[in-house]
Amino acid sequence: MAFALSAEAEQKLNEIMARYPNKMAACIPALHLCQEANDNWVSDDVIEFVAQRLELGTAHVKGVVTFYTLFNQKRPGKHQLWVCHTLSCAMRGAEDILHHCEKRLGVHVGGTSPDGKVTLRTAECLAACGTAPVIQVDKTYYENLSIADVDRILDGLVKGA
């Protein structure tokens, strides 16, 4: 089935396109809008839609999607959990947190828990080096974490809190 935006999202897309000097410059924000409208992932239909609307080649749009980690190339879980693994976080236990998340969720990085609730990812930097280790769940940051803190967060996600 072909991808289409709601009337409200179409208006937002037109506003996005009007802010930029050319259509190509609107590619990233247009993809974010369409990803959100498509259950938080960029399907082939979304790529074709954006390419057509911005008068770009599908290869260009696909290149943007595959380059940036914030675009989901497959349907993610209900929540996305990002574990920062840059130097500050690594020195304060991020690797232990990542391995603990993998064990608790039953997946490796990039995978989604069997219940479909959590997709586990790593981030190069979440810009909270002074409060490492850090994870991000959807748009919420959790800092100065211990394994016990991570367990409470994961319990909340699994229970739907």
**Ramachandran quadrant class, 57 (left: phi over 0; alpha: psi -120 to 50; beta: rest):** beta
Tokens (6 digits) for 141? 């940051």
**With contact defined as beta carbons under 8 Å apart, do 144 and 105 qualify?**
no
Which domains does the chain possess?
7-67 (no CATH), 79-159 (3.40.30.10)
Kindly report the three-state secondary structure assignment for every residue of 48-60.
HHHHHHHCCCHHH
Q: Tell me, yes or no, if the pTM score tops 0.75.
A: yes
Q: Tens of pLDDT along 81-108?
A: 999 999 999 999 999 999 999 999 999 9
Give, as one character, the DSSP assignment of residue 92: T
pLDDT at site 109:
96
Tell me the one-letter amino acid at 28: I
Q: Tens of pLDDT along 102-146?
A: 999 999 999 999 999 999 999 999 999 999 999 999 999 999 999
**With contact defined as beta carbons under 8 Å apart, do 80 and 137 qualify?**
yes
Q: Give the Cα separation of 64 and 74 in Å (integer).
A: 15
How many Cβ atoms sit within 10 Å of the Cβ of residue 81? 24
Backbone phi and psi for residue 45, each to the nearest 5 degrees, phi listed first:
-65, -35
pLDDT at site 41:
95
* Pairing relationship of beta strands 118-123 and 135-137 according to DSSP bridges: unpaired
pLDDT at site 70:
86
Query: Nearest-5° angle of CA 22, CA 23, CA 27?
Result: 125
